Amino acid sequence: MDRFTRIVLSLFALAAVAYLAQPSIERLLFASTTPRAVTPRGDLSQLEKSTIELFERVAPSVVQVVALAGGAGEGQGAGSGTGFVWDAAGHVVTNNHVIENAGRVAVRLATGTVSEAAIAGRAPNYDLAVLRLVRPASVPPPVAIGTSRDLRVGQSAFAIGNPFGLDQSLTTGVISALKRRLPTSGGREIADVIQTDAAINPGNSGGPLLDSAGRLIGVNTAIFSPSGAYAGIGFAIPVDVVNRVVPELIRSGRVPVPGIGIVAAGEEDAARLGVAGLIVAQVVPGLPAQRAGVQGVDRASGTLGDIVEAANGEPVRRLADLTDVLERIGVGNSVTLTLRRGGRSTSVSVQVVDIGQR
């Protein structure tokens, strides 16, 4: 073997050794065997600061609501959700569906303190309920109230709650749509419901939806999800409805149900008959609609009843349109119905009464 070949082989051997030893050399020269120095991050952004401030201000007023199925000896939960402090008297607002099957209700404050709660009132038609803390050691400050009248699609929205029992969770997003309708267990629809993409999951029900000022703009109540978990769409009862219903529940334990005493045919019946309006299937004896001369379907002859086309000048296409108008008018006032009867239009004035007492 000549000298040149020996040199090439030696260089090759050195290269092979260096290659194989490279990881060990790198670990020896560059490995951090002591804690690394912290890199200063600078100040938080203004958006982060405002979000943190909002959470720290409102979170103490957000509670976990646990509905217990039976008496004092039973510990099985019938439901779990979120609530928030409404006033200094210790009233807490939550969803009706959170506590509707409860034998007892317990409220866990942000401090970890657990207080028994009495049900002060329920409004299934609005999926709202009010609890009253029983002998609490202290009452957190009430959540500030905003308005849902001037909400805009795209503005920031913040939800605080207890998704899957994980308390004091904050999610953020935007208002993604307005004027949605949401059916309730009371058989009616809530109008002007807020849609948000702030993550809302099981356990968030009854918690506050807030604007960027930390004011209540809605009560989180439902999600749209084939799987039962967050899928990008959540719904909240608008605060203007909450601010009308909750004081009634505190005052009397119930909310009047404005009505005029009619039974409406289904929307599918109107569609099948090509009717653009609300078909009156039946009038309830002794209630204002009958006294005002509103006519239902004549089952003997098969004659179609009155068709409600408008209420106080607002178009009526389904029952929810009429109930929206009646709720704004309120019990004790009158509504003007535009009716189509036998191909002719007529108007009648009908008093609005509390049909929930019947």
Query: Which CATH class for the 57-133 domain?
Result: mainly beta
Q: Are 75 and 118 in contact (CB under 8 A)?
A: no
Which of the two residues, 323 and 4, has the higher pLDDT score? 323
Q: Which of 61, 80, 91, 97 is catalytic?
A: 97
> Whose CA is closest to 180, among 201, 153, 158, 207?
153
Q: CA angle 6-11-14, nearest 5°?
A: 125
Which of 221, 351, 357 has its CA nearest to residue 292? 351
Longest dimension (CA), the chain: 124
- Give kind and range of the element (H or E) at residue 245: helix 239-252
Which residue spans of the chain are classified as CATH 2.30.42.10?
258-357
Q: Is 43 a catalytic residue?
A: no
Give tens-digit pLDDT for 90-139.
999 999 999 988 889 999 999 999 999 999 999 988 999 999 999 888 89
Q: Which of 21-35, 49-63, 300-314 has the highest mean pLDDT?
A: 49-63
Which tokens in the block code for residue 165? 């029992």
φ, ψ for residue 342, nearest 5 deg: 60, 35
Selected from 2.40.50.140, 3.30.70.330, 2.40.10.10, 3.40.50.12160, the CATH number assigned to the domain covering 156-252 reads: 2.40.10.10
Could you tell me the pLDDT band of residue 72, with boundaries at 50, 70 and 90?
very low
As a whole number of angstroms, the distance between CA 195 and CA 223 comes to 9
Q: Is the dihedral of CA 55, 173, 234, 216 positive or negative?
A: positive
Q: What is the mean pLDDT of residues 252-276?
A: 87
Give the pLDDT score at 307: 93
Per cent of the chain over pLDDT 70 is 89
Report the distance separating Cα 175 and Cα 157, nearest Å: 6
Q: Tell me the mean pLDDT in the region 249-267.
A: 90
Phi, psi of 97 (to 5 degrees): -70, -15
pTM: 0.78
The structure tokens 């958006």 sit at 47
The pLDDT of residue 75:
46
Q: Using one digit for the tens of pLDDT, what is the confidence trace for 275-312?
A: 888 999 999 999 999 999 999 888 877 788 899 999 99
Q: Which amino acid is at 192?
A: D
16/64 Cα distance (integer angstroms): 65
Query: What residues contact 254, with CB distance under 8 A and at least 6 apart?
Result: 121, 122, 123, 248, 356
Catalytic residue (choose from 115, 127, 167, 197): 127
160 vs 321: which has the higher pLDDT: 160
Pair of tokens at residue 320: 């929810």
Lowest mean per-residue pLDDT among 170-174, 176-180, 204-208, 266-270: 266-270
Q: Does domain 258-357 have CATH number 2.30.42.10?
A: yes
- Place 89 in a pLDDT band, splitting at 50, 70 and 90: very high
**Residue 319: both structure tokens together:** 């029952």
Q: How far apart are CA 80 and CA 163, in angstroms?
A: 9
Question: Distances in Å between the alpha carbon of 218 and those of 42, 128, 159?
Answer: 35, 11, 9
Active site includes 205? yes
pLDDT at 62 over 90: yes
225 belongs to the catalytic site? no
Q: How sure is the predictor about 357, in pLDDT bands with cuts at 50, 70 and 90?
A: low
Q: Where are the beta strands (DSSP E) in the chain?
A: 62-68, 77-85, 91-94, 104-108, 114-123, 128-133, 156-161, 169-183, 189-196, 208-210, 216-223, 234-238, 258-259, 262-264, 278-283, 307-311, 314-315, 334-341, 344-351, 353-354
- The DSSP symbol for 148 reads S
Under the banding of pLDDT at 50, 70 and 90, the label for residue 140 is very high
Annotated catalytic residue within 205, 306, 321, 324: 205
Evaluated on CA atoms 182, 296, 340, 337, the torsion sign reads negative
| Structure confidence by residue, pLDDT tens digits, 299-348 | 877 788 899 999 999 999 888 889 889 988 989 999 999 999 888 899 99
Contacting residues for 106 by C-beta, under 8 A, at least 6 apart: 65, 66, 68, 114, 115, 116, 117
- C-alpha to C-alpha distance for 347 and 83, rounded to whole angstroms: 45
Q: What is the pLDDT of residue 53?
A: 97
